Structure 1
Amino acid sequence: MTIAGGAGRASAATRETIVRRGSCCLLYLCPGMAKCASCPRQTPEARSARLGG
């Protein structure tokens, strides 16, 4: 998925690729594994922080 951004100004728009997950891989259920950075089972705030946003 590609989105346009730039503080609402079309002239300053940039394009970036983002990950949007619709389901969980359940990898965190395996011993020693954590939730993926884009996991839909975490809060939006936690996901944003882990993705660097």
Structure 2
Amino acid sequence: MGEKEQEIKKEKYATYLPKDLLDKLRELSKETRVPQVRYIEEALEDLLKKYKKL
């Protein structure tokens, strides 16, 4: 784990997602061996950048 990851404090957050999106996320994660949370974090960062909140 890199230094940057060690410094980031994380907080638990639960939500509901459409089943088809969740199924695709799980499949992608399994195929790529990248944790689902990494894809969710990337998507949220992209959304926040789009709206200039990051």
Quickly name the TM-score band, shorter chain normalised. under 0.3
Higher RCO (C-alpha under 8 Å, 6+ residues apart)? 1
Larger radius of gyration: 1
Q: Which one has the bigger strand percentage? A: 1
Name the TM-score, length of structure 2 as normaliser: 0.24
Q: Which one has the bigger helix percentage? A: 2
Name the TM-score, length of structure 1 as normaliser: 0.25
